[in-house]
Amino acid sequence: MTSEKVEEYATIIKNIIIEYSPKVITAIIILFVGLWLTSIITKTLKRILVKREIDTTLSNFIGNFVFWTLRILVFITVISNLGVPTSSFVAILGAAGLAVGLALQGSLSNFAGGILIILFKPFKLDDVIEAQGEIGSVKEIQIFNTKLLTGNNQTVYIPNGALSNGVIKNYTQEGIRRVDLMIGVDYNSDLKQVKDVILDVLNKNSMVLKNPAPTILVWELADSSINLAVRPWTNSENYFSVHSQTLEDCKVAFDAAGIEIPYPHQVEIKKK
């Protein structure tokens, strides 16, 4: 290679450095400043949402959405400053987004379901719900799934798409629940006495609410018993305790009052 060629290439490289170095330096500055501002804006937004007592799940989602949106804008700005046509770049991103969207239709459905759950709040953290054949306490509302903890300590993840489109039964949203019990007594029993005994049991239970007042109704004249619907009210967290304690206390009170709880008998017929 001749000295003239070397000088020519050196001149070209020098011109390129002179032409592009300001753009590269500016792009680097934009990148670092943009990333720093993105973090500051996101943290400030999250603090504002927390002060306004916005739901934690919604706050995190909004914060993460703003964070990544700002980072994408910073990245596009850096690319544009380097001389890359942004229109072509945006078209490539759009085509890639469409391809990913078609490949991840189920995930996008779950993502949309997560947004609907966060916005409309059919349940919140620690609520006990029944959905998709599962009953459990809500431990985490994620973007794609909702995490439940069942009564036997099993973790269940339900896709938000199915969850938002299905029936959700929230057991704790209202704060109190009615305990529905069915208690059978013998046909020879004095119904007024039976009701008084059950009511006395309920009144002695501190977990049973006075308002709404419990109700005791004759519900069914069955084959071997008179069945009474016993319906006390209690705070949601005491539901199972009241259910169990009422049955136990009624059995003890019936025994003391001589009230019989019938059960099926088998009659043996002896052949002669």
Q: Is the pLDDT of residue 49 over 70?
A: yes
Query: Which pTM value belongs to this model?
Result: 0.61
Tens digit of pLDDT for each residue in 166-218?
999 999 989 999 999 999 999 999 999 999 999 999 999 999 999 999 999 99
Tens digit of pLDDT for each residue in 129-161?
999 999 999 998 887 889 999 989 999 999 998
**pLDDT attached to residue 244:** 96
Mean per-residue pLDDT for 17-45? 78
Please state the three-class secondary structure of the chain as a single string. CCHHHHHHHHHHHHHHHHHHHHHHHHHHHHHHHHHHHHHHHHHHHHHHHHHCCCCHHHHHHHHHHHHHHHHHHHHHHHHHHCCCCHHHHHHHHHHHHHHHHHHCHHHHHHHHHHHHHHHHCCCCCCCEEEECCEEEEEEEECCCEEEEECCCCCEEEEEHHHHHHCCCEECCCCCEEECCEEEEECCCCCHHHHHHHHHHHHHHCCCECCCCCCEEEEEEECCCCEEEEEECEEEHHHHHHHHHHHHHHHHHHHHHHCCCCCCCCCCCCCCC
Q: Is the pLDDT of residue 86 over 70?
A: no
CATH number for the 176-257 domain, one of 3.40.190.10, 3.40.1410.10, 3.30.70.100, 3.40.50.300?
3.30.70.100
**pLDDT attached to residue 109:** 80
The full set of domain ranges for the chain reads 3-103, 122-170, 176-257
Q: Provide the CATH topology of domain 122-170.
A: SH3 type barrels. (2.30.30)
CATH architecture of 3-103: Orthogonal Bundle (1.10)
